[in-house]
Chains A and B, each alone.
Chain A
Amino acid sequence: MAIKVVLPAHLRSLAKVSGEVQLEVEGPVTQRSVLDALEASYPMLRGTLRDQATFARRPFVRFFACEQDLSHESADRALPEAVASGVEPFLIVGAIAGGRL
């Protein structure tokens, strides 16, 4: 099943894509499996969303889907069915607070 992922502008530039990214995810659709598939297709994004050693989410990166903030959910928890079925996108968002002006 193709999963739809929306990247923030900086990472679309880095990955040289425009609009949504379509990913094939093997097995259960979780944050971890989606990010694994994303980094496999776009290795330039490694380290930009989660630590390369610990895989901890970077503090000012947020994961939204189906009008829910999933940022603090377990990386192995199943994502909403609408995301897994490709109906709704998995949104990767740069937090409004964070970084530096």
Chain B
Amino acid sequence: MREAIPCSISGIITDNMSGVRVLVGTRKGAFILTADAKREKWVVSGPHFAGWEIYHLKGSPADPNRLYASQSTGWFGQLIQRSNDGGKTWEQVDHKFAYDGIPGTHQWYDGTPHPWEFKRVWHLEPSLTDPDTVYAGVEDAAFFRSTDGGKNWGELSGLRGHGSGPKWQPGAGGMCLHTIILDPSDPQRIFIAISAAGAFRSDDSGQTWKPINNGLYSQYIPEPRAEVGHCVHHVAMHPSRPGVLFMQKHWDVMRTDDAGENWREISGNLPTDFGFVIDIHAHEPETIYVVPIKSDSEHYPPDGKLRVYRSRTGGDEWEALTNGLPQSDCYVNVFRDAMAVDSLDSCGIYFGTTGGQVYASSDAGDNWAPIVRDLPAVLSVEVQTLK
């Protein structure tokens, strides 16, 4: 999400000029926004895959022109698209996501066993080193990998089969594996998060997994401190501090300093600790961002004011960032994969809303402006820093 990568692309960014490419997935297609390092003038390309839901698209850190996109509809199912030229052209690659073995059951909303059924890909995470290796987090929750650029997908079923799978249950948005974090310091370490099961860690490249939810407290489940069952909304890690993770849970903002062995709450003075997104400044690993949302039944900002909250102390102490954001009559939501940062010298922060705006700050959150507005509802935002 914040890799500085060599690249030259068409549009307003030319060879040897740094810039930013913002990848936006929406309810009705994908959009690609580009700007030079000033981040003042934006060129919008799209819609790509018009009319399809694009839950996520992301570029390879190893080859910035290699992009992957998750394309789906409720009518015609799941497709995977791949680009080798930074999103100018796309090719459909295979989209056969078959669970390993007999899928078994998880808990349904009413607590009864329900068969595992593939529905869609929520998140695509390209390898840090190999453009042809990409991981997929899917609904119903499972972890897949392709090592041939998306042509073939295989489930790493140690996650679903590690023992707690029958206790997992869907959140309001479905039982989705929505977060995948690859540890840059340890190629075998992977973190994932599932709504509503919790966070998990693998130390052997995804073969075996352990729940890492100690310290989470969820009043909406029978055992508030259960090993699994927590509705984790998103998790973020700074590449320089791979043992420190920040989590936006359904309610509560949390952090761990020991790779998930123990979590503690850092909600502090937030006006509400419900929300979906969380991210980290590219150059300050203790500076984190969230967008508080009123509640799980009112998915919009408190008081109709769209405010990003920033903590420069790794949590607990938060300040509202409002310059350039609507401070009245704003009732949008910001979905869990819809915030990202760039790694230019003055860190850029980006987020998209269900109202179709993508807001950006080129000064670490002090000032904001929409870089595009009136798109379909934004499902995801990723940023590539092009140097």
Contact = CB atoms under 8 A, between A and B. Distances in A.
B75 A52 contact: no
Nearest to B98: A53
A60 B95 contact: no
Interface string B163-181: 0000000000000000000
B246 interface: no
A27 interface: no
B83 to A, nearest CB: 16
A48 B80 CA distance: 12
A101 B51 CA distance: 10
Interface in B57-85: 73-79
Interface string A25-68: 00000000000000000001011110011000010110000000
Contact of B96 (A49, A52, A58, A61): A52
A94 B92 contact: no
Contacts of B74: 60, 98-100
B52 interface: yes
Contacts of B95: 47
Given A48-B79, A100-B53, A101-B27, A10 B92 contact: no
Interface residues of B, number: 16
B76 A94 contact: yes
Secondary structure class of chain B's binding surface, majority of residues: loop
A9 B66 CA distance: 28
Nearest to A51: B77
- Most chain A beta-carbon neighbours within 10 Å: one of B53, B73, B78, B98: B73
Contacts of A10: 51-52, 73, 75-76
A11 B73 CA distance: 11
Contact of B76 (A49, A52, A100, A101): A49
Interface residues of A, number: 22
A61 to B, nearest CB: 6
A94 B51 CA distance: 13
B92 A61 contact: no
A101 B77 CA distance: 15
A99 B6 CA distance: 39
Nearest to B28: A101
A47 B75 contact: no
A61 B75 contact: yes
Contacts of B50: 13
Contacts of A48: 76-77, 79
A61 B53 contact: no
Given A44-B92, A47-B95, A47-B96, A58 B76 contact: yes
Contact of B77 (A9, A47, A53): A47
B188 to A, nearest CB: 31
A95 interface: yes
Interface in A56-101: 58, 60-61, 94-95, 98-101
Interface in B138-165: none
Contacts of A99: 73-75
A44 B51 CA distance: 17
A14 B79 contact: yes
B335 to A, nearest CB: 14
Nearest to B92: A44
A49 B73 CA distance: 12
B92 A14 contact: yes
Interface string B20-50: 0000000100000000000000000000001
Given A47-B96, A52-B96, A58 B51 contact: no
Interface of A: 8-11, 13-14, 44, 46-49, 52-53, 58, 60-61, 94-95, 98-101
> 10 closest pairs, A vs B, by CB?
A99-B74, A48-B76, A94-B75, A60-B75, A99-B75, A44-B92, A99-B73, A52-B96, A100-B74, A98-B74
Interface of B: 27, 50-53, 73-79, 92, 95-96, 98
